[in-house]
Structure 1
């Protein structure tokens, strides 16, 4: 007696093959997109060298900038911008460490903070000598840092946006908020930014860096679509460090 083969109808096979092709194409497109990212400049790489004032250590998950001397009581966890190499923020973060702050920049999967919004949690557990943690982030990194801060408000004493805005409602946040952006920034959506200000506490602090743009918070070259800065990268970062340290000092005094 002839046995019938258990075969799927041809239309099902065609659908499955079509889905497999779509998945392969989508995966390839994503990896192409994720690997087309902004890389740290030579100046940023040079800033990753330890010296007499700052000790820099690197793991697979983060880069730590620790001021030499006594263990700092205050620290900043930094989330990099979307598709920007974490190392690109070394000059800015090194300067903050020189102001006696422990600074840790998270290394995000595929250079996108959306894939590890809770990266700060592991950092806090590892650097348990720090008493007061500030969350900070640039662009997409700031959005995701705000998401963590909102969920873990009892572990965060302040939130810092660089050319960014909150993901959710922070109007009742128990911590102060600082927002900094450049006047020549043409990457940041001003419409989204303005709408998001209604999600911040009434007493949040906003600082506009005259002549600054979007990309000069880091050192990774000109970002596509960005405006032309009329101040140097060094000047923009110096003003940013001054604004952040003043914000932290003012928060300490309250």
Structure 2
């Protein structure tokens, strides 16, 4: 009798654990499948033309300027739960400035699952001499993690509405931080605290009228502020800031 009671107790525990695993798995897949998708404008920007050739694999999308062999490139990490295609307009504009630009497609649209995606891209695009790591929101946090671990492979780090995960005060590369004045997704307290982790000479630029989502093209993000400039304007200002940042670093 006692042996049967013990067996029943163990069986109930195992059934309970199995149910918890099923519930947790279901909740996870529901969470990761509820993500921000690229707008029609972003999809249109993925078309190759006379100036830019766009190639796509399971792991990345590459924007390459035609007739050029860029020695400088940008590897971009998307924001959390945002598909890579949503950043096509911004990244295409950067490629038009004679930069090789590659956006990593993250597992489950979350950069935390592949913080080292840049390593594979660097190996595949070995003609590039100077790589800049860039990321939006969560993507920027994870890009900074790679940059910190592989500092000798990184020419610079670019944050879009983001901040570092670790101490970069002694980083050998320059850092640029962009954010929109109307961004209400970015945790400003965490952002301000994280600035102490950056090199003393880092560059910070506030995009007046910009918000969190308009670095990409995926529609309004939950909890974000209302921008007073268009996504096109915010992205153009970002491109100008990024290309100036890279140009200044090139001259040093």
- Cross-structure match for 1:19: 17
User: How much does 1:12 deviate?
Assistant: 1.2
- Cross-structure match for 1:253: 251
- Cross-structure match for 1:102: 100
- Cross-structure match for 2:41: 43
Q: Does 1:158 align with 2:194?
A: no
User: How much does 1:11 deviate?
Assistant: 1.2
- 1:220-252 CA deviation, whole Å, 9 max, x = no partner? 000000000000000000000000000000000
Give the unaligned 5+ runs of structure 2: none
What does residue range 51-62 of structure 1 map to in structure 2 within 5 Å?
A: 51-62=49-60
What does residue range 1-254 of structure 1 map to in structure 2 within 5 Å?
A: 9-254=7-252
User: How much does 1:70 deviate?
Assistant: 2.2
Q: Secondary structure at the match of 1:55?
A: strand
Q: Secondary structure at the match of 2:152?
A: helix
Name the CA distance, whole Å, in 2 between partners of 1:161 and 1:69: 29
Name the CA distance, whole Å, in 1 between partners of 2:9 and 2:203: 60
Name the CA distance, whole Å, in 1 between partners of 2:96 and 2:121: 20
* TM, length-normalised to structure 1: 0.97
Name the CA distance, whole Å, in 2 between partners of 1:8 and 1:128: 62
Name the CA distance, whole Å, in 1 between partners of 2:5 and 2:134: 57
Call closer, same or farther: CA 1:241–1:8 in 2, change over 3 Å: same
Name the CA distance, whole Å, in 2 between partners of 1:45 and 1:181: 24
Name the CA distance, whole Å, in 1 between partners of 2:194 and 2:14: 43
CA RMSD of aligned residues (A): 1.1
User: How much does 1:122 deviate?
Assistant: 0.3
Name the CA distance, whole Å, in 1 between partners of 2:92 and 2:6: 62
Q: Secondary structure at the match of 2:101?
A: strand
Q: Secondary structure at the match of 1:9?
A: helix
User: How much does 1:13 deviate?
Assistant: 1.1
